[in-house]
A and B are shown apart, each in its own frame.
Chain A
Amino acid sequence: MSKQLEHDYIGLSEVSSMESSEKLTSDSEGSNGLNLKATELRLGLPGSESPERIDSVGGLDKNGYPLGVLKNLVSGAKRGFSDAIDGGSGKWVFSGSGGSETDLAKGGGLFSPRGGNGGGKHLGGSESNNQHSSLGTPAKNDVVPQSPKPMHEKKPQISAPAAKAQVVGWPPIRSFRKNSMASNLPKNDEDAEGKLGSGCLYVKVSMDGAPYLRKVDLKLYCTYLELSSALEKMFSCFTIGQCGSNGVPIRDGLSESRLMDLLHGSEYVLTYEDKDGDWMLVGDVPWEMFTDSCKRMRIMKSSEAIGLAPRAMEKCKSRN
């Protein structure tokens, strides 16, 4: 059915393409079609203005099941807000309004998951419809536990509203500015007390075998554990990709734990280049010393990392 619609819209007829799109808007069928679709998918009780965000149009006949699950696995720092589209958006409403219970009531309509999509998280279309109709009633609380995975990742926002957002590229500030502001902080004695926790420090992270680099903000983390789980999330897709190429089904809930096995096991180690240009194993020096000296990181195969550890220890000793 969707294919048929697409043919109409593209206008396979001989009419010039500009005309055909005008034709579409003036044609009652076409514009009704768009309006109907928008109405169909509009959440909220009939007749209600529904100023809240509704997010279901795209998911009409999509079965995003595999991707939905993968998105949750890969979410982490990158996909925070796109999860809003998938159904985790309630978190952002909470944090935006301060995370109180009353906001849950107000914002309830906002985060009803996209109808029909994200099947991996919901039990199916009928379930979503139940959610739609339960707007404004206490039943909406059911929505909250139904999406365990996105909840998990959004936890920091709910429990600590003052925590930094982990959305890539938001607010829209250039890296140069971010890094400049980062350097204004603790180093400046006059402001030592004032500005803890702000600014950021982007370093590039590469992974052997991954198609491209990522940048990660070291100031978002306070411990090596936080950093490594963020990196695991960021790069899990690449490792999963490798599994996939062997023909092994890759879209299942085991993938993430499999990656952690890989990282915690012996396949990959996390290393960094310090100010002196030396490559060291991550984790050997105190966290603050690490963030001060780390220029970039590399997730390398452990077979290549032989010989790093001893130098790291020596460096630490010489620094101390």
Chain B
Amino acid sequence: MAYSFPEEVLEHVFSFIHTDKDRNAISVVCKSWYEVERWSRRRIFIGNCYAVSPGIVIRRFPELRSVALKGKPHFADFNLVPEGWGGNVYPWIAAMAMAYPMLEELRLKRMVVTDESLELISRSFKNFKVLVLSSCEGFSTDGLAAIAANCRNLRELDLRESEVDDFSGHWLTHFPDSCTSLVSLNISCLASEVSFSALERLVGRCPSLRTLRLNRAVPLDRLPNLLRRAPQLVELGTGAYSAEHRPEVFSSLAGAFANCKELKSLSGFWDVVPDYLPAVYPACSGITSLNLSYATIQSPDLIKLVTQCQNLQRLWVLDYIEDGGLDALAASCKDLQELRVFPSEPYDMEGNVALTEQGLVSVSEGCPKLHSVLYFCRQMTNAALVSIAKNRPNMTRFRLCIIEPRTRDYQTLEPLDVGFGAIVEHCKELQRLSLSGLLTDRVFEYIGTHAKKLEMLSVAFAGDGDLGLHHVLSGCESLRKLEIRDCPFGDKALLANAAKLETMRSLWMSSCSVSFGACKLLGQKMPRLNVEVMDEGGRPDSRPESCSVEKLYIYRSVAGPRSDMPRFVWTMKTLS
């Protein structure tokens, strides 16, 4: 006789299990666990919207409250994916409108979201609370007006870095006076002026507001009023941080900042006038996250600000900080975990600032908790990379962009294979890696040998041939996402490791040497992979099969080839 827990007990136990990984694990224990789990799952993350269909998701999980979807490949951020490629969320919204009337949260990344979709969201989900649109596009402020007007219980509206057709700031006035539930509002990507009085009233009547990220069009002299209405703010993004220097504006601002005792995160700082920076000093000791990546101020001002933030954990900054500023950072901010240094003039062949590999080495020496790095620079040495690797074996994300492709170690003139090799060898928990500089197949051998926890790898202008790709595909056991551009990788490694592709979320290859024939073969032999070829020159089968395809995007899917491909994308299943 088999004894089993009543379903209610199982359900209760499962209610303590939250992460996707754990939920997925318990769902495959046995049929009854699968059933209980699927009815009790409330939250789902779909890393590739084409890996599965809305119908399949709805059939399996009938009671979802929170859905996260990602659309375009990462390289879409850099204009490598042509417009019209896909990732339209509307079919998902339409299906969920019928199936999940109680849906509360929608988090979308790199998807095309139309006003129609936003309107449907606002009308279909009575208890809708959270809308996060990260790097999305396709909608206008009209769609936002619908969300503001109809979502009575809206808590979060976060438009981070989306491309919005900004007709006017008037949409903000569509929040009814009865809306008091806002916790987070991020409109930093919007171009036009919002109605200030509407904004002030909205901020004033939402006592739970903890995150407010303004757009550039909010002038500095408006900030004190807003801050005074929301002294409980934890995260603030300023608008333009410049004004003529007037003592009363300064003291008003400084007073307002001093009053915000909960502030932990600051961002914005467009058009910074250094004179006004001291206004934030009262808040600095509590700051853990500082985004100065739009602040075009020079190293001395940056140093003054940053060294006041002794509890800083995350810093995003422009390369104006220079090596000297990074030295100061390393000395003052011992809790630093994440550093991102962006280039102020990325298209200059010669550098404009004194930022070198030394800055990164300093921070790696001085900040024992540093584990996440994004660093744009113009020169690098193997020795520096080896130092960084040895200093920070706890590194989990390391993205280095040496601005000029195929740049050598400037001291030894060698490729940077050994340096990156040291990174993967010493940093055993490395999950994400972006390579740059001159690299041969050797670096891929190191990566394949050592980077066993690596989940995402970005490669550009590197390698000698198929062996490089083969090392990565055959050696990186945890690899989920691989994106490659302008590398001489061809058919052999791809075909030899076809099975590996089913264990990954996706593979992107553009301007490489993969032939159309190989793509066809892959598409035909691997039924659970969608092999999509993008080519501007017309149908790839109008040329010899040995011709290289321009762009290749391969991803596993249980939904079969997608039906919304534009004219320049071909799936290798229907062409024969």
A198 lies within 8 A of B465 (CB): no
The number of residue pairs between A and B whose CB atoms lie closer than 8 Å in the complex comes to 243
CB of B38 within 8 Å of the partner chain:
no
- Find out whether the CB atom of B82 lies under 8 angstroms from the CB atom of A9: no
Contact B568–A174 (Cβ < 8 Å): no
A213 within 8 Å of B (CB atoms): yes
Please tell me if the beta carbons of B474 and A25 are within 8 angstroms of each other in the complex.
yes
Contacts of B547 in A (CB 8 A): 62, 64, 66-67
Contact B84 A198 (CB under 8 A): no
Inter-chain contact A212/B542, CB cutoff 8 Å: no
Q: Which residues between 12 and 55 of chain A lie within 8 Å of chain B, taking CB atoms? A: 16-18, 20-22, 24-25, 30, 34-35, 37-38, 41-42, 51, 53-55
**Residue A316 at the B interface, CB < 8 A?**
no
How far apart are the CA atoms of A93 and B401 in the complex, in Å? 17
Using a CB-CB cutoff of 8 Å, which residues 62-86 of chain B contact chain A? Answer: 75, 77-80, 82-85
Q: Indicate whether A53 sits within 8 Å of B438 (C-beta atoms), given known contacts A84-B486, A168-B79.
A: yes
Find out whether the CB atom of B83 lies under 8 angstroms from the CB atom of A213. Answer: yes
Contact B548 A57 (CB under 8 A): no
Of B293, B470, B492, which is in contact with the most chain A CB atoms at under 10 Å from its CB? Answer: B492
| Chain A residues in 8 Å Cβ range of B77 | 172, 174-175
Q: How many angstroms between the C-alpha atoms of A27 and B499 in the bound complex?
A: 17
Chain B's nearest CB lies how many Å from the CB of A263?
18
Scan residues 81-127 of chain A and give those whose CB is less than 8 A from a CB of chain B: 81-82, 84-85, 92-93, 95-96, 106, 110, 114
Which one, B47-55, B175-183, B218-226, B513-521, is touching chain A? B513-521
Assess whether A58 is interfacial by the CB under 8 Å rule: yes
Kindly list chain A residues whose C-beta atoms are within 8 Å of the C-beta of B415: 51
Known pairs A114-B488, A181-B344; A175 contacts B82 (CB<8 A): no
| Residues of chain A lying within 8 A (CB to CB) of residue B543 | 66-67
Q: Bound complex: CA of A182 vs CA of B496, how far in Å? A: 45
Q: Decide yes or no whether B30 CB sits under 8 A from chain A.
A: no
Report yes or no: B548 in contact with A67, Cβ–Cβ below 8 A.
Answer: yes
Size category of the binding interface on chain B: 35 or more
Q: Which of B202-210, B327-335, B402-410 contacts A (4 or more CB under 8 A)?
A: B402-410
Judge if B414 is at the interface, Cβ distance under 8 Å.
yes
Against A, the Cβ 8 Å flags (1 = close, 0 = not) of B559-575 are 00000001110000000
Which has the most chain A C-beta neighbours within 10 Å: B401, B466, B500? B466
* Residues of chain A with a CB closer than 8 A to B465's CB: 37-38, 41-42, 54, 56-58
Binds A, one of B87-95, B113-121, B346-354: B346-354
B11 at the interface (CB under 8 A from A): no
Report the bound CA distance from A59 to B490 in whole Å: 8
- Whether A66 contacts B544 in the complex (CB less than 8 A), given A174-B161, A211-B566, comes out as yes
Whether, in the assembled complex, A304 has its beta carbon less than 8 Å from a beta carbon of chain B, the answer is: no
B440 in the interface, Cβ–Cβ < 8 Å? yes
Within 8 A of A (CB), among B515-567: 515, 517-518, 521, 525, 536-538, 542-544, 546-548, 566-567
B511 contacts A62, CB within 8 Å?
Answer: no
- Chain A interface size range: 35 or more
Check A61 for interface membership: any CB of B closer than 8 A. Answer: yes
Q: Is the CB of B349 within 8 A of A161?
A: yes
In angstroms, Cα B487 to Cα A170, docked, is 14
Which residue of B216, B464, B489, B548 contacts A42 across the interface (Cβ within 8 Å)?
B464
Is A84's CB under 8 angstroms from B461's CB?
yes
Q: Which residue of B lies closest to A41 (CB)?
A: B465
Q: A22–B403 Cα gap in the complex (Å)?
A: 37
Question: Which chain A residues lie closer than 8 Å to B376 at the CB level?
Answer: 171
- Whether B407 pairs with A96 at a CB distance below 8 angstroms is yes
B198 within 8 A of A: no
Q: Does A152 contact B (CB under 8 A)?
A: no
Name the one of A9, A62, A81, A163 contacting B546, with C-beta atoms under 8 angstroms. Answer: A62
Question: Are A58 and B488 interface neighbours, CB within 8 A?
Answer: yes
CB of B30, distance to nearest CB on chain A (Å): 24
Q: Is A155 an interface residue (CB 8 A)?
A: no
Cα-based distance from A63 to B546 in the complex (angstroms) = 7
B513-A57 in contact (CB<8A): yes
A264 at the B interface (CB under 8 A):
no
Q: Are A6 and B414 in contact (CB under 8 A)?
A: no
Residues A176 and B161 in contact in the complex (CB < 8 Å), given A57-B466, A81-B511, A85-B486: yes
20 contacts between A and B (CB under 8 A): A2-B546, A10-B495, A37-B492, A38-B464, A38-B465, A42-B465, A51-B415, A66-B543, A82-B511, A85-B513, A96-B407, A168-B78, A172-B78, A173-B78, A173-B346, A174-B135, A177-B294, A198-B348, A211-B566, A241-B538
Given contacts A84-B461, A199-B345, 14 further A-B contacts (CB under 8 A): A10-B498, A54-B464, A55-B488, A57-B465, A57-B466, A57-B490, A96-B404, A175-B79, A176-B161, A176-B163, A178-B346, A180-B294, A211-B84, A211-B566
Spell out A's residues near B (CB within 8 Å): 2, 5-6, 9-11, 16-18, 20-22, 24-25, 30, 34-35, 37-38, 41-42, 51, 53-64, 66-67, 70, 74, 79, 81-82, 84-85, 92-93, 95-96, 106, 110, 114, 161-165, 167-178, 180-181, 184, 188, 191, 195, 197-200, 202, 204, 211-215, 237-238, 240-241, 244
